[in-house]
Chain A
Amino acid sequence: MTWSATARGAQQPDNTAFTQQRLPAWQPLLSASIALPLFFCAGLAFIGLGLGLYYSSNGIKELEFDYTGYPGTSNCTVCAEAGQGRAPPPRCSCAWYFTLPELFQGPVYLYYELTNYYQNNRRYGVSRDDSQLSGMASALRHPVNECAPYQFSSAGLPIAPCGAIANSLFNDSFSLWHQRGPGGSYVEVPLDRTGIAWWTDYHVKFRNPPLVNGSLALAFRGTAPPPNWHRPVYALSPDINNTGFINQDFVVWMRTAALPTFRKLYARIRQGNYTAGLPRGSYRVDITYNYPVRAFGGQKRIIFSSISWMGGKNPFLGIAYLVVGSLCILMGFVMLVVYIRFQDQHDEDEDEE
């Protein structure tokens, strides 16, 4: 702060556009004349997009069946009733018959849907051990505390995979049978149960612990399966690439849903004669009914769906785009009206002045 001591001009600020806040700038003045074309163009674009989306969504077929077994809905009622109040529920099967009058354009995906199922409950959602699932040997023996009460079995063994999510693995199974002609025999339609998980999940996030003597079972020795499971994790599938933590059903299940109603991919139909889709004819889905949902008022559905470039059937996106596009155009018109009305007035005012 010794002003006088410094040399002349030593404290003179730099004269640059930046320091003097005179950067070359573009100051857009958003007037109606700019906004109007913008809105009309955007509106048209959105409408176009919406139409495209709508029609492509309409081209998608979806076939859905609720097999929860609420009284009077399907023949799964028996199973549902049988399982009521019993834990574990008895093994039970039911079936869903349907007929396709025409080819169900492939590729066809088979989903199951659960409703009123809070996979996004925080307590539930955190109840997993990503370290364990990524194949860390140490974590296999020492699951994180979040897994409690599914951390250690009653025998004191660490549970693998630990946590509530794994414990509640969806364990209904489906098989699809096709009857070419009336009265003909049902042929099993091959369901591809691989390739239903995310690439990252399957390859990175979920890894089996290192094999012991070439055996996965040995690797899991000293662990207990989750209480609700009937078989240990290494026995989920005979396929070595689809068992243990990298069992794709398991991986799909472990990717928790965001909302209480969710669909998860069960299988893809793309093999054999069914590459192009499901040909017409009668079908039967054999359902192994294990998973209880009626206790909390949930529903179970099975869904066949084809797919378009933008995903499954979702007319809403197209509709939404149509609405937004129309809105844009509407707003454009409103603006136009307002603009013309008031601009004139302003001009008049100015004239008066």
Chain B
Amino acid sequence: MSLREYLGFRVDGRPGELSPTSMGSLAYQEDYEEEKNSAFTWEVKANSRAYNSRFKEKVFLCWRRRKYKTNIIRTAKYNVFSFLPLNLYEQFHRMSNIYFLLVIILQAFPEISTLPWFTLFAPFVCLLLIRATRDLVDDIGRHRNDRIINNRPCQILQGKRFLWRRWMNICVGDLVCLHKDSIVPADLLLLASTEPSSLCYVETADIDGETNLKFRQAPMVTHHELTSMRMMECFQEPAMPSAPDCPSPTGKVVCEEPNSRMHHFVGCLEWKGKKYPLDSGNILLRGCKIRNTDTCYGMVIYAGFDTKIMKNCGKFHLKRTKIDLLVNKLVLLVQIFLSLVLISAALTLGFWYQVQEFKAHYYVSHKHAHGVLMETFLIFWGFLILLSAMVPMALFIIAEFIYLGNSVFINWDEQMYYEPKDLPAMARSTSLNDQLGQVEYIFSDKTGTLTQNIMTFKKCCIEGCVYGPDAKSSYMVNPYLWNKFADGKLLFYNAELLHAVQSKKDKMVQEFWRLLAICHTVMVQEKGNQLLYQAASPDEEALVTAARNFGYVFLSRTQDSITVMELGKERVYKVLAMMDFNSVRKRMSVLVRNPEGTIYLYTKGADTVIFERLYRKGEMEWTTEEALASFAQETLRTLCLAYKEVDEDTYEHWHRRHQEASILLQNRAQALHQVYEEMEQDLQLLGVTAIEDKLQDGVPETIQCLKQGNIKVWVLTGDKQETAVNIGFACQLLSENMLILEEKEIVRSRSQILETYWEKNNNLRQAKGRAEDQASPKISMAMVISGDLLDQLFLSLRKEPRVLIQSAEESWQELGEQRADFLQARRVSQIWQLLGMQHRSSRLAPQDQELNGSKNFEAQRERAFVSLALKCQAVICCRVTPKQKALIVALVKKYQNVVTLAIGDGANDVNMIKSGCRAAGPRGRTAGGRLGPMAVRVLTAADIGVGLAGQEGMQAVQNSDYVLAQFCFLQRLLLVHGRWSYMRVCKFLRYFIYKTIASMMGQVWFAFYSGFSAQPLYEGWFLALFNLLYSTLPVLFIGLFEQDVSAERSLQLPELYMAGQKDELFNYRVFFQAIAHGMFTSVVNFFMTLWLYHDMASPASPGDYQSFTVVMALSSLLSITVEVGAAHAPPGLGALRSAGPAQGPRGHLQGSRLPGNFSLPGQVILIIKYWTVLSVLAILLSLSAYVVMTWATQSFWLFRISPTTFSFLCEPPGRVLGGGARCRPGLTQVWPHWALSRPLRLWLLSGDLHRAPWGHRARPWCGTQSRFWKALSRLRCDPALSPDADRNVLTHPFVLLVVLLNVSLNTLPVLALRVIYHTLTKPRPKVEVEAPPSEEIITVEPAHYLQREARGRRSSYAFSHREGYADLITQGTILRRTPGANSMLADPTMPMPYEEEPTSSQVEPSRWHSRRASLLGRKHRHRSMAHSDDLQPASVPGVGSSSLTGSPSYLENQFSISKNLPPTPEWQAGPMQENSSTSTTQEAPAGPKH
């Protein structure tokens, strides 16, 4: 049953509400679709829990549960019992974990168990534990949050009174009472409020980030009926069976099922046998804040997870960084596949032959009890287990530490701390740090991100005379002190102007300020002695405030009058007509009759609009235009003011026409427009105001710096083009010598530009390949486009959604296929690129095939457009909706495999910031083929989202990955932290891979000498602890503390950042380089040792397995530890460091040279370039961990406990030589220290050179060496146990010499290569003077690239905001007439305006319809909001919000009524209620005034 059928009538009969408007975007389409599906099945009876809980829904088979959720929010994933199983379940969702588990299970089979059980088990348990701990900590935080939210207090009607309960106690159907500034606990139907007409003002900052007030209104019926507590009881189900006062049955709401559409609600209230429609204007959403309303009552419709905001909380899927993906791919593909399968297979094959031979080896033949085939099969698995150590489990653990550490460093950075707000930077996501070092595109919001969203009155021009701010120092005291209404915050001081105002001589000056005081839609309220202005846009508030400071104080307004205090004299102007802004008119006018009876028209508007309507153009106008131009040059937002006197006759005439027009049923807006147009003619220019949209600190510098780092900044804003361009210039995104492609130019010749461009591109690419890419950026271009154009351009948006739904099932599929294609293509291109094949320059190439295949013209155009846009140095997209913002990001990501970063502060930026978009709702999912656009949205998210903890609520912050306080911190975040993180992660990965290969490949080599029997080369404990302990700390150090260049240098040389964009520090090449290097090391270690041992006759018989193993282990460990000190550094640093300062920070590195020099990572110096105490400590600690753990695992003590587990013994306590009592210290325990101090060891050894050979005579050093040895020898000497030969391998000089040889052979050649390479390719960054864009280039360009005229950039009207409260004002809905008639609660005998038909005698049809109209207006505004992102807070938030909290209603100053009447006892529910409960019984509802 559809909603309409149910209602039996059309919802208000306005198709406009339900049919698509021009903005036929995804948003609507979704709405429509869902609406079609939405059944009308959600029934809620007021305060009747028994009834409401009857509804059940089937969950699983017979298990049913209550349909209506309680208001308890549980965002935590686990509870005490579910933690273990759930967490394990989640952990084993990871491929790698399953793999390791598999290997561990395999290991349980003795036939193939090549490694001791603990070798893999111990690290695996560590891994699981660490991850589980992290999850646990996260979850505890969520639990805490949930608890706080669930325990918030609120008042619920229970029985006859409202009792304080917690949020979690709220059930669907409950009646709740909310007070000023409380947060709405669930989605409520507003039943009544203490405001006139049961309006209720809410701030939705937490939902959509807008801080301006929105109003909701109760349905008229409840507004009139529920006037008392008793009536409230009536609404609910009677607590007692007989409620004499309540003849009517319970109120019941029937509406659609919970859904996620924030601004959509359709339902119907059944009460007393009648049905009343409800819409989203009646609904208070969870998360809103009640403002300016003393008390309001609501009935819970959706609770808990059913609420709209919770439905909107999409699941966040983890963003993964490029490197993360690459590493996973490498680990999975290369290591598992290559090393485990291929190598294992090869080795197994070797075994195949060997095993046949082994049949002759009688000593082992019995051990190979199975057939050859079976043995081979078993040995394969044996190898698989053996080589599983090659998949570095520890990599994941350490990587997590590193990511976490780098995030913490971001949080700790003092230079990203914003003191005024006590806001440090915050990394909310810990897994994206390295990507911060690779950002290529920044998508920035404008308002609140680039700008402070504070408008300051900067300059004005009155009658051609420009008044700018005087030097501040000339005023010791506030010059506005004479004016008691001055707010003292105006920073515009101009003595001359002030004098002119005070002297009252200049009529024009007076009219100028009067206009500013009268012509606006600002609301005022008084708080204490202060006036607080509520404006629809900050511009307007700035103007009114300026007027106020200059003595023209706007005091109050009624429906038809405005009271202004003019230089101490109060004057009341009668408002005859108010002609509000809209984006077409670009002006606003007020027609007033002044106290003297003269009628004036005051108009303010965009210069273009106003100048058209002047009655003459004299000298003054010309000078004013000059002033305008100069203001525009300074990127100020300008506004022209004009007025005219209207004679009575004209007015009478016009008034009639206006009346007629305003009651028209059709085309009223158009007719009104016409009428307004008639009036606004022949104006007299007063002057111009100039308002500065203040940029945030350091924005131009930051953008400049980012541009040098080859980061392209796109500004996506809902603002108008002029404003956006203005800001673009202000923040140096655009510059004079840029070619600015504007919409006109693009559109006019789109068919030419884009397509020819595309063709040219194609040809060029075919012809010249990648050279093309580097050639074109010479012309610096910028592009300014609007959302509408995007709509036209992007095929996915262009089509009418309806058409899509109805007709083209296949077209969707086509879309889907295309997307799949592009996904595929992206993957391919990614792989290619990662392979280091320089695929980058022809990134678009893979799509060519798709293109040729589909021959899709639209796609071609889209692509052409994007590639054109990508060529531009700067792109400004204005008038884009939040969704389009996300789409633009998606588009760039679609065609370019680049890292994008979105930064914004408001809810309108959430889409582009958010990590994971709300995936299409359940219905969307079932819609199958129509998933297209939704899926696009899932893709949209930028790689990194940065939220500015600004003024526009917390939505952006809550959805972001990083939180900054200021835009300029972005510079440090990217250039310093991002670059460091990227460099650290890359070095870490490179080193880790090297380390793994260097140590583990030995096993493969060993297989060739152990009969391919999968004999491990290393001892189990070494393998188990190697990656966990022995080699971890240096790696961690690299990942956490490594710095190639200091922070200051990073900022001075943004060019360094480019390495990250090009994936230079870690890609397939680096990977293979690391592997090759690792192979080299392992080959040297293994074969040198092998060779030296091969023909060895020594008493120590070092050829035994244990010795060999230990020598190999030590060689590997030392080699890789030394390698920590020697690996690759970021390219070209040495030179940069030395040459840097000389050439200046602005030196441009020549593009053509750079790729060569900058992409060669081999030249380095030392992996650790940043030696601190910590790095030394890290190395020492890891080596001592080896010493300690080796000592421990090879100790007698553990051996005696479990001889099989700890079968290696490495401790020769001493030995008695030839029966003598002298002994030698047990060197084993200290030998690693020896290894560290080779010279010492050599010296010790050389002391023995001419002595008796090993093992025969007293070691000379026993008695002669330091006290340390003596002590040790005392400890260890036990003559009683006199064996004859000490066979301990590691005390043997030979062994140590071998280790030394291995290590030096591993280190020195590599070192030499690097030095040579470094010398050979010493990059010499060349200073390239930034070539001024040469004229020739521009002239070469086609004609339609004409440079814009200078005037075109002049800021015209800066009204990018929506209409003000004019409709509300003129309707008087929110205004109280007189104290008497204004009482809140209606006299029951008053006629019900709701049920009246609209009367034609009224300007507005009826109260109800007026509200509907205003709702319509609001709806319209929502649309336009979608267009413009500055649905700015109606006021400067700091001021505005505090002002809102102050007084119960607007205009209290004028109609002051006592609202705090003594509460009736039955309302008294709790102590907290006193000041806020309002006795509604004594106030009649404001009767509608017609």
Contact = CB atoms under 8 A, between A and B. Distances in A.
Interface string A18-52: 01111111111111100100010010001001001
Given A25-B1172, A317-B1092, A346 B1324 contact: yes
A97 interface: no
A270 interface: yes
B188 to A, nearest CB: 25
B423 A312 contact: no
Nearest to B1090: A259
Contacts of A255: 1101, 1104-1106
Interface string B998-1022: 0000000000011101111000000
A280 interface: no
A39 B1308 contact: yes
A28 B1101 contact: no
A300 interface: no
A141 to B, nearest CB: 15
B1091 A316 contact: yes
Interface string B1237-1263: 000001001001111011110000000
Contacts of B1137: 29
B1287 A123 contact: no
Given A27-B1169, A118-B1011, A195 B1097 contact: no
Nearest to A60: B1097
Nearest to A169: B363
Contact of A197 (B1211, B1213, B1287): B1287
B1301 A123 contact: no
B1210 interface: yes
B1166 A30 contact: yes
Interface in B104-121: 110, 114
Contacts of A52: 1249
A197 B279 CA distance: 94
Given A1-B954, A309-B1293, A314-B1092, A124 B367 contact: yes
Given A30-B1315, A310-B1297, A270 B1103 contact: no
Contacts of B1298: 317
B819 to A, nearest CB: 36
Interface in B1109-1166: 1109, 1134, 1137, 1165-1166
Name the interface size band of chain B.
Answer: 35 or more
Interface string B341-369: 00000000000000001101111101111
A11 B1475 CA distance: 35
Interface in B387-436: 409, 411-415, 417, 419, 421-424
Contact of B1203 (A130, A146, A264, A310): A130
A28 B1171 contact: yes
Contact of B1284 (A1, A56, A194): A194
Interface in A183-226: 192, 194-205
A11 B423 CA distance: 7
B741 to A, nearest CB: 37
Nearest to B1321: A342
Nearest to B423: A3
Interface string A331-350: 11011001100110010011
Contacts of A4: 421
A13 B360 contact: no
Contacts of B1249: 52, 56, 309
A3 B954 CA distance: 10
B1294 A317 contact: yes
B949 interface: yes
Given A31-B1134, A118-B361, A296-B360, A311 B422 contact: no
Given A3-B422, A265-B1099, A335-B1315, A122 B1015 contact: yes
A247 interface: no
Contacts, number: 350
Nearest to A202: B1283
A205 B1199 contact: yes
A122 B357 CA distance: 15
A139 B864 CA distance: 79
A308 interface: yes
Contacts of B1312: 35, 39, 331-332, 334-335
B1196 interface: yes
Contacts of A130: 1203-1204, 1207
Contacts of A200: 1209-1212, 1287-1288
Contact of A120 (B419, B1015, B1253, B1318): B1015
Interface string B1288-1311: 100011100110010011001101
B1095 interface: yes
Interface stretch (A75-83, A172-180, A320-328): A320-328
Name the interface size band of chain A.
Answer: 35 or more
A306 interface: yes
B1286 interface: yes
A131 B1206 CA distance: 10
Contacts of B1106: 255
B367 A164 contact: yes
B1268 to A, nearest CB: 21
Nearest to A196: B1285
B1288 A198 contact: yes
B423 A263 contact: no
A286 interface: no
A109 interface: yes
Contacts of A346: 1322, 1324
Contacts of A331: 1308-1309, 1312
Interface string B133-172: 0000000000000000000000000000000000000000
B1461 interface: no
Contacts of A6: 422
Interface string B456-476: 000000000000000000000
A155 interface: no
Nearest to B1256: A107
Contact of B1316 (A149, A305, A335): A335
Nearest to A340: B1319
Given A13-B412, A121-B1015, A307 B1105 contact: no
Contact of A198 (B957, B1245, B1285): B1285
A303 B357 contact: no
A206 to B, nearest CB: 10
Contact of A27 (B1171, B1242, B1256, B1304): B1171
A13 B413 contact: yes
Contacts of A119: 1105
B1225 interface: no
Given A12-B424, A308-B1253, A256 B1105 contact: yes
A28 B1137 CA distance: 12
A310 B1174 CA distance: 37
A164 B1297 contact: no
Interface of B: 110, 114, 357-358, 360-364, 366-369, 382, 409, 411-415, 417, 419, 421-424, 949, 954, 957-958, 980, 1009-1011, 1013-1016, 1041, 1043, 1047, 1088, 1090-1109, 1134, 1137, 1165-1166, 1169-1174, 1196, 1199-1200, 1202-1204, 1207, 1209-1215, 1242, 1245, 1248-1251, 1253-1256, 1281, 1283-1288, 1292-1294, 1297-1298, 1301, 1304-1305, 1308-1309, 1311-1312, 1314-1316, 1318-1320, 1322, 1324, 1326
Given A136-B1203, A167-B363, A196-B1285, 20 more contacts: A6-B422, A12-B414, A12-B424, A26-B1171, A39-B1308, A62-B1097, A109-B1099, A118-B358, A121-B1013, A146-B110, A150-B366, A199-B1215, A199-B1286, A203-B1281, A296-B360, A307-B1253, A309-B1254, A335-B1312, A338-B1320, A349-B1324
10 pairs of A and B residues whose beta carbons are closest in the complex: A195-B1284, A258-B1108, A198-B1287, A312-B1097, A311-B1098, A123-B367, A168-B363, A130-B1203, A312-B1098, A331-B1312
13 contacts: A3-B421, A3-B949, A8-B422, A30-B1314, A118-B358, A120-B1013, A205-B1203, A259-B1090, A270-B1256, A309-B1253, A317-B1298, A328-B1308, A346-B1324
